[in-house]
Structure 1
């Protein structure tokens, strides 16, 4: 998936880029209004991180351009301005979210993933692939119509894998997803190993047409059998 970062603070731009690249996103950047305008006119992006205060123009004007082009969905405004008027203006122009500087990069990553998740699901409450149906509202897994009981973390792990089918998931990103804000309290990733081990057993037992592959030293990948 391709993300455009529109940000004029060099250090912040580099930090955001590096973090999202680790998550295996394709990243493009723009540090001023004219460059950003050219890119949003020519290219399509899965998500745009948009600063309001830019050299050469306003991020809100870029958002107007996106709205006129039917591309204003999947935009997250990132700005030092915490004015309610700016926030409302951005949301009215079609932005999905608003994050005020300073913020933690992990929080921004979570917001990006949430926006992309909503886009991928297109408002549906289920994820369906092969003989798998994952009911997000009831938090239930069905394989070939049979209910498979998962604990909370097994469900969250499977959900994350299904949203990222065939993509490499690093141990650190999976740990952050499962462990959340308490990841710093974990001494190692053993808890991830046990969740994966149990999930594999349950999927194998009901002949699920998907499986979790290990990528040695890096992480995991969910693939069709």
Structure 2
């Protein structure tokens, strides 16, 4: 999962980022509203962890921008403000959950997983498509009940394809989703081709359908009509 943390407290941001990365997440940090606007305009995120009080703006204004721009990310507000008005404003403004500081990092992790399951995975940690089954808790991928020997990146790649099935995904967007926005400055994305190739090979070995199609000049598409 790719997460954007918008938090001006650098010590807290570092702790959250380290914790989430140990849990296998890709976590990027914005310390100001302006940094967050730039990242949200250029990149996609599965979940946004949003502080309300920022040095150059209000997190609720950033939330309004997220919803007006129809950015389809889960949003968890994390704030030291514990007033009922702030909670109501945030939740009615489109946030998926609200967590008051201070909090325990395992609780934050549980909240992130819960809202992602609810919003992206129909409330379950099990994702299925035809003969494919993914367990987002154990990172186990099965095709025709055969466990695939996939790397964490290959698991995330397959999940990304299934969640975005029938959409053309550029090599750049795949790279940014799995490896972060530093890939924006790379001259090529040949490593994406290699990961897609390895995933296809492992799925084919388990007699899985050939769903991942190359869209020449653009990228790839998980084609649900394929067999």
Would the TM-score normalized by the shorter structure come out above 0.5? yes
Tell me if the contact between 2:140 and 2:147 (Cα under 8 Å) persists in the aligned partners: no
The alpha carbon displacement at 1:117 in A equals: 1.6
Question: Across the two proteins, how many residue pairs are aligned to each other?
Answer: 157
Residue 160 (structure 1) aligned to one of 130, 137, 140: 137
The alpha carbon displacement at 1:119 in A equals: 3.2
The alpha carbon displacement at 1:73 in A equals: 4.3
Q: Which portions of structure 1, spanning 4 or more consecutive aligned residues, are displaced by more than 2 angstroms? A: 122-134, 158-161, 210-215
Structure 2 Cα separation of the partners of residues 133 and 19 of structure 1 = 27
1:1-225 aligned within 5 A? 1-71=1-71, 73-122=73-122, 127-129=127-129, 131=131, 160-161=137-138, 164-166=139-141, 209-211=145-147, 225=206
Give unmatched runs, 5+ long, in structure 1.
135-157, 167-202, 216-220
Give unmatched runs, 5+ long, in structure 2.
156-201, 207-227
Q: After superposition, what is the alpha-carbon deviation per residue over 1:123-152, rounded to whole angstroms, capped at 9, x for unaligned?
A: 679742455789xxxxxxxxxxxxxxxxxx
Distance 1:11 1:214, change over 3 A: same
Report the secondary structure of 1:160's partner residue: coil
Structure 2 Cα separation of the partners of residues 121 and 40 of structure 1 = 22
The structure number with the bigger radius of gyration is: 1
Relative contact order higher in (CA < 8 Å, ≥ 6 apart):
2
Tell me if the contact between 1:63 and 1:72 (Cα under 8 Å) persists in the aligned partners: no
Tell me if the contact between 2:51 and 2:77 (Cα under 8 Å) persists in the aligned partners: yes
Structure 1 Cα separation of the partners of residues 100 and 46 of structure 2 = 21
Distance 1:8 1:126, change over 3 A: closer
Q: After superposition, what is the alpha-carbon deviation per residue over 1:45-84, rounded to whole angstroms, capped at 9, x for unaligned?
A: 1000000000000000000100100126400000000011
The TM-score, its normalising length taken from structure 1, stands at: 0.60
Structure 2 Cα separation of the partners of residues 94 and 20 of structure 1 = 23
Distance 1:124 1:8, change over 3 A: closer
Distance 1:126 1:83, change over 3 A: same
